[in-house]
A and B are shown apart, each in its own frame.
Chain A
Amino acid sequence: MQRGTSSLRVCARAQEGPLRLNTPGILHIITSHSRLRQVLAVGGIMDAPPLSPGGGGAAVRDAIRERPKRGRARVGDVGVAVGSWRPGFAAGGEQVHILGCEVSEEEFREGFDSHVNSRLVYHDLFRDPLNWSKTGEALPEGPLGALRAMCRRTNPGPVTIALDSLSWLLLHLPCTTLCQTLHALSHQDSCPGNSTPVEPVHVLGLLHEELHGPGPVGALSSLAQAEVTLSGAMGQASAHILYRRPRQRPTHQTQWFSILPDFSLDLQRGPPLELQRHADPHTPPVDPTTQLTFNLHLSKEEKEAKDSLTLPFQFSSEKQQALLRPGPSQATSRIFYEPDAYDDLDQEDPDDDLDV
Chain B
Amino acid sequence: FSLWSGSIWRGKLTLLCDAKTDGSFLVHHFLSFYLKANCKVCFVALIQSFSHYNIVGQKLGVSLTTARERGQLVFLEGLKSSVDVFFRSQEEPHPLQFLREANTGNLQPLFEFVREALKPGDNAEAAWRCPVLLVDDLSVLLSLGVGAVAVLDFIHYCRATVCCELKGNIVTLVHDSGDAEDEENDVLLNGLSHQSHLILRAEGLATGFCRDVHGQLRILWRRPSQLTAQRDRSLTYQYKIQDKSVSFFAKGMSPAVL
Q: Interface residues, chain A, CB within 8 Å of chain B?
A: 32-35, 68, 73-79, 102, 104, 106-107, 110-111, 126-130, 132, 167, 171-172, 208, 210-211, 234-235, 259, 261-262
Contact = CB atoms under 8 A, between A and B. Distances in A.
Contacts of B164: 104, 106-107, 126-127
B190 A210 contact: yes
Given A75-B199, A75-B218, A110-B225, A259 B193 contact: no
A234 B224 CA distance: 13
Contacts, number: 87
A104 B231 contact: no
B224 to A, nearest CB: 8
The secondary-structure label for the interface of chain A is loop
B38 interface: no
Interface in B79-114: 106, 108, 111
Given A128-B160, A259-B231, A35 B223 contact: yes
A234 B228 CA distance: 15
Interface string B152-190: 110011001000100000000000100000000011011
In the A-B complex, list the 7 residue pairs whose CB atoms are closest, starting with the nearest: A74-B193, A79-B232, A104-B164, A111-B227, A210-B190, A75-B218, A75-B220
Q: How large is the interface on B (under 10, 10 to 19, 20 to 34, 35 or more residues)?
A: 20 to 34
Contact of A102 (B17, B111, B194, B231): B194
B149 A172 contact: yes
Contacts of B199: 74-75
A208 B187 CA distance: 10
7 contacts: A74-B17, A75-B220, A79-B232, A107-B164, A126-B164, A127-B160, A208-B194
A261 B149 contact: no
Given A75-B234, A102-B194, A110-B225, A211 B201 contact: no
Interface string B199-213: 101000000000000
A34 B194 contact: yes
Given A110-B225, A110-B227, A77 B149 contact: no
A211 B149 CA distance: 11
A261 B227 contact: yes
A76 B108 CA distance: 33
B247 to A, nearest CB: 22
